[in-house]
Amino acid sequence: MIVRLMGEGQLDVADGDLAALNTLDGELESAIETGDETAFRAALHALLESVRKVGKPLPADSLAPSELILPPADAAIDEVRAMLGDEGLIPD
């Protein structure tokens, strides 16, 4: 799955890594629902760091379409809330 980290580029994430990322996505959703800024910031950073860790960067000139787009680390809680779909940022 091709994931775009806004402001950073694209990474190829193996399907086998999606379950762990979904767990982090759930923590992010919970923090957004409760409006807990501290938990939100921690969950967003954990999710992005995990994607960076498991993903393989694509070349900067790659034209592959992104299947997922994740917000930058400095995104505001309201910006991320607007990006959430029915299944969070990372679909099941």
30-59: per-residue pLDDT in tens? 999 999 999 999 999 999 999 999 999 999
The answer to whether residue 54 is domain-embedded is yes
The answer to whether residue 31 is domain-embedded is yes
The answer to whether residue 8 is domain-embedded is yes
Instruction: List the structure tokens of 73.
Output: 């680390």
Check residue 83 and give its pLDDT: 87
Mean pLDDT of 76-85: 89
For the chain, what percent of residues have pLDDT higher than 70? Answer: 99
Residue in the structure block whose two tokens are 């860790």: 53
Q: With beta carbons less than 8 A apart as the criterion, state whether 55 and 4 touch.
A: no
Whether the per-residue pLDDT at 63 is higher than 90: the answer is no
To the nearest 10 degrees (0 to 180), the angle between helices 37-54 and 18-34 is: 160
The answer to whether residue 89 is domain-embedded is no
The answer to whether residue 91 is domain-embedded is no
Indicate the SS3 state at residue 40.
helix
The range of the structural domain enclosing residue 34 comes to 2-84
The answer to whether residue 50 is domain-embedded is yes
The answer to whether residue 80 is domain-embedded is yes
The answer to whether residue 63 is domain-embedded is yes
Question: pTM for the complete prediction?
Answer: 0.90
Question: How many structural domains are present in the chain?
Answer: 1
